Structure 1
């Protein structure tokens, strides 16, 4: 063939850009459609991607070629029409036709993002968002997409018993007999973590009921707010509905980290509807203008006149109460008082919202996982036997004298404190029902099998119940789900549960203290994320700026 090329024009090659731990670039493919620029500016609200140069020399790049500081940056991979931006953790991992695609629900936060779980063999390789305009539109956070590599690391795959201070691997029967040997009577408690499905909580509740105990708690960080009316602890505007609000008061919440996809809706309300946003609590960049009033929760009783006027004149006023606010005594009552004063709840609008962080929180409250006085009241009763259902954020020192059984999937804080470990399935390894922060019941499907000897949580409790001599009345998952639907009809069907607005009266309403943001590190909020190498990289680089380049010799 001819040695020379007949192509005489300049060939345009573009160097690769650095866009952080989750986005890989091949910019020679880029056609300058600026979709990624528009997404980061309009949806994510982080103006860090743009164009430099002009004409033939134009290039799309991040500001100073730094990582993009957004918790939604992974979405640009889905938007890019030519593959100039691709997924860095997933690059060269698999071909699409090798993957089994399963419809699931994400458990990284309380939003209940609809996802597609792509797996090959016994490994989940990626999670992609599914379109659901009521919940997550077509977006997913970086944690939803990329924490899945944590599902294979630090896994509990066989039962353990602690002997002489050390955990030893044993068989299932031995582990069950060690639990049965604890003559606890009715002194049994169960604490549910943030990633648990409703079926697991229901099976545990049934087992405790046969033991004549009602010590159930799902608020593992120690919160103890009034749950006599579930509407008073629900996100009533709904996720899609918050877009219509015209005045929003954020109370001790950082929605950008606590529920990123609720934050994009609030941003939409500001950009498209001209909504005004006021904030009480520690200041945090929310990607839209917020007028911060201060950090003292007593401001709920003494709002500045400008805020009062705005709330009075608003057609659809909304209040968003964060998990940090629920930890301040009196804040919940003061917020409900505000709701009454400014008519946040009207015939066609309910603007009173509580933002839950855990995927299992609303479902847990519906199943009665809220003990009067919270986890402290349970600790004060010194239960002889404690079941921890994937609870890794709680303080185990309060249960020093209890026999602790950890039922979970990762070797995290809960496993370190346990006397017996029963290895369970993660959210991709079991069918389950989850209720998101607005009270929407959603079903997730099993994508892969749990590793090693790990079993699905409900079957662990069914097998344990026989050893303890309190046999549970179901033999299959379908059987369990049918019984749960009978006892709790609101969980029988998918869709939004309508909670009647009947707020509790007589709550303390004089809050004292500072607001807090419970999420200290967006990327490391649960045991799966903490085991994920990608999330660790994101945390180190984007939040803690560990950008010292390692030399080859090091």
Structure 2
């Protein structure tokens, strides 16, 4: 065999192809459409999506390949060395126009009333490749619609069977909830069983749908795309910090869509981030400063509200004052809160309001392995996390890692949570047994051999009453196996607030509530539901003077506060957040601040001026940012809380759509099937021992408080354990130690 000439300009594993006369060097195995996209050569398509498996159903991307007697689908035809492709030749255009004509045969003529009008791929492509008159005179088919839940609206007569939504639910979400039914002209896309979509990332089917068959039910009929302005913003309901656009009309946020960032959320968005904007317009939104006068709430001017707040803080400064901050608070607001606490002489400042154990002085820290690098891990161990609800898009990345790279995933949890990837191994144990489970020789051996191993530690560990010992067990496991530790920050900006020094030099959040102060500042907190120990918080705040900076004048805030100063939520302000990778990301103001509410940094600046404190002399956000600097604060450790020795252990997780005040007010999310009613969930064996039955009301008591809840039986719960979701008023009195259960 003679030696073949080698082109020195072509890298190994690459080939040379020609598309529309343009010579390209592309990787072997690439499809024609991928090579064309890389070169900026447009090829029409409907079924092809770069993040989904290739289906080649729509045939809109047919191209003319030299020496090929038939048209070739560009999305499913691999490039070959020396291949010549024409995408705009007379033959290619004939292929594409013919396919366009077939696709429009049954499509309804309802563009004027379609929500997708103005941003519809079918409209765009038909403008370039469609005929002005249809030759099809027969009756168009009609497809009945399914109700697939409160988030996604259906108009399946418009469907062109591209199967993007089917492939998304199967390959990205992993729930296999949509599929094709019947054959030929009768083919329909649906759920078959008529049940609503239950995946936590279902809204992405709206983005991948190239027509108006799947649209945003919350946004439906509210505005046209050309009426909207796009504002860059961030997801603030978990620590991932998903990049997104707020679509705004006249100051009202009407829709949220993903903004591509391969290093964070790729092109996806969780439903929690997509639909939470509904909560901004709740009836109990704080819109004017409020002051309690003789036990009654009175609307006051900003001058009077700030004066009342300043009087409380002047009279109760120093160690008498506690400052409690929500961990989704922006870096700029965190900086000013640190300055405020310093100026008032208090070291009682903390954002770790979900924590129960401060004995190891643990703080949030960036992931040891970035989100993008986790996909390349050989082995991942999930410890104490329902990661599918805690970080929906990290869960999607883990599924992608397993499917694409064969990543082996193990889980150590008190509940056998539903993941959409297969587990290489799992241990379902009571929370107190997580440490011993991590000592298991088989698990350690499975991780030791990996070149890239990652341990993901979730909220079940981070917010447990014995979190310090569990974190120590994780560190020991990582040291023995060489795994990198990724602790999920408990709050959207927990990492950023650590950097800004929103940490105690005296009492931590737990100590501030266990040893009540005379006055408190609570920032962005809904006191009835946002504290790990709600009964202790209520008792401490009731006996003190409280200045509340809040987005909502809810019942629990009115109950404990003396002054309420209304502030904007993240979609309404310009701010920065630091995500779990340690990436500082900017959000621009989108929605209009309601009535007299103001950006938090403006209110803090005005209050600092009222108190004549140093560090509040700036006049704008640029001036504030110019003076910001990282603070290194090492909080002191406190005693580890005791856990009562009797009863069943509590595994407490945050309910997916009850994580913060804004999400709790988003009506569509509250009617989603994943938003379960508050209950005490236990195994059938535990119920038999306690002599209680499914649906029976029981009295549940912990060292923190008592509640009356229905029983739900679930064999996934570990022996000796009950599973409770936080974020509900009914479960707020309960802690996370041990619980006694008796019939009501």
Q: Does 1:341 align with 2:480?
A: yes
Q: Does 1:251 align with 2:383?
A: yes
Calculate the TM-score normalised by the size of structure 2: 0.66
1:68-147 pair list within 5 angstroms: 68-147=197-276
Match of residue 584 from structure 2: 441
Match of residue 159 from structure 1: 289
Match of residue 194 from structure 1: 327
Partner deviation per Cα, 1:508-553 (whole Å, 9 max, x = no partner) = 9xx999573431x2122211112222122225x76459xxxxxxxx
The DSSP-based 3-state class of the residue aligned with 2:653 is coil
The DSSP-based 3-state class of the residue aligned with 2:522 is strand
Is residue 253–residue 517 contact of structure 1 (8 Å, CA) maintained in 2? no
Is residue 337–residue 502 contact of structure 2 (8 Å, CA) maintained in 1? no
Match of residue 181 from structure 1: 311
Partner deviation per Cα, 1:308-361 (whole Å, 9 max, x = no partner) = 2101111211111112202332111111111111112xxxxxx21101241121
Is residue 224–residue 373 contact of structure 1 (8 Å, CA) maintained in 2? no
The DSSP-based 3-state class of the residue aligned with 1:518 is strand
Is residue 67–residue 542 contact of structure 1 (8 Å, CA) maintained in 2? no
Q: Structure 1's 251 and 414: CA in aligned 2 closer, same or farther, altered over 3 A?
A: farther
Q: Does 1:534 align with 2:685?
A: no
Q: Does 1:401 align with 2:540?
A: no
- Cα distance in 2, alignment partners of residues 228 and 542 from structure 1: 33
Shift of 1:385: 2.2
Q: Structure 1's 322 and 542: CA in aligned 2 closer, same or farther, altered over 3 A?
A: closer
Q: How many residues align?
A: 516
- Cα distance in 2, alignment partners of residues 214 and 224 from structure 1: 19
Structure 2: stretches of 5+ with no match in the other structure: 1-133, 679-744
Which one of the candidate residues 291, 310, 315 is aligned to 2:446? 310
Shift of 1:227: 7.7
Moved more, 13-22 or 275-284: 275-284
Shift of 1:489: 8.7
- Cα distance in 2, alignment partners of residues 8 and 97 from structure 1: 33
Q: Does 1:236 align with 2:371?
A: no
Q: Does 1:325 align with 2:461?
A: yes
- Cα distance in 2, alignment partners of residues 357 and 120 from structure 1: 33
- Cα distance in 2, alignment partners of residues 425 and 352 from structure 1: 35
Q: Does 1:208 align with 2:337?
A: no
Q: Does 1:150 align with 2:279?
A: yes
- Cα distance in 2, alignment partners of residues 276 and 43 from structure 1: 17
* TM-align CA RMSD: 2.7
Shift of 1:143: 1.4
Shift of 1:7: 5.5
The DSSP-based 3-state class of the residue aligned with 1:452 is coil
- Cα distance in 1, alignment partners of residues 395 and 168 from structure 2: 15
Match of residue 708 from structure 2: none
Match of residue 14 from structure 2: none
- Cα distance in 1, alignment partners of residues 360 and 368 from structure 2: 15
Q: Structure 1's 262 and 360: CA in aligned 2 closer, same or farther, altered over 3 A?
A: same
The DSSP-based 3-state class of the residue aligned with 2:606 is helix
- Cα distance in 2, alignment partners of residues 7 and 83 from structure 1: 21
Which one of the candidate residues 433, 438, 448 is aligned to 1:298? 433
Partner deviation per Cα, 1:430-455 (whole Å, 9 max, x = no partner) = 11010112211111111233111111
Q: Structure 1's 306 and 70: CA in aligned 2 closer, same or farther, altered over 3 A?
A: same
Match of residue 288 from structure 1: 421
Shift of 1:218: 0.7
Which one of the candidate residues 630, 640, 661 is aligned to 1:488? 630
Structure 1: stretches of 5+ with no match in the other structure: 345-350, 491-503, 546-554
Q: Structure 1's 442 and 480: CA in aligned 2 closer, same or farther, altered over 3 A?
A: same
Shift of 1:411: 2.8
Is residue 149–residue 532 contact of structure 1 (8 Å, CA) maintained in 2? yes
Shift of 1:461: 1.3
Is residue 201–residue 271 contact of structure 2 (8 Å, CA) maintained in 1? yes
Partner deviation per Cα, 1:351-381 (whole Å, 9 max, x = no partner) = 2110124112111122222336631212244
Q: Structure 1's 384 and 425: CA in aligned 2 closer, same or farther, altered over 3 A?
A: same
1:446-457 pair list within 5 angstroms: 446-457=589-600
- Cα distance in 1, alignment partners of residues 362 and 668 from structure 2: 40
Partner deviation per Cα, 1:50-88 (whole Å, 9 max, x = no partner) = 111111111100141110111100000110112211111
Q: Structure 1's 283 and 83: CA in aligned 2 closer, same or farther, altered over 3 A?
A: same
Is residue 181–residue 192 contact of structure 2 (8 Å, CA) maintained in 1? no
The structure with the larger Rg is 2
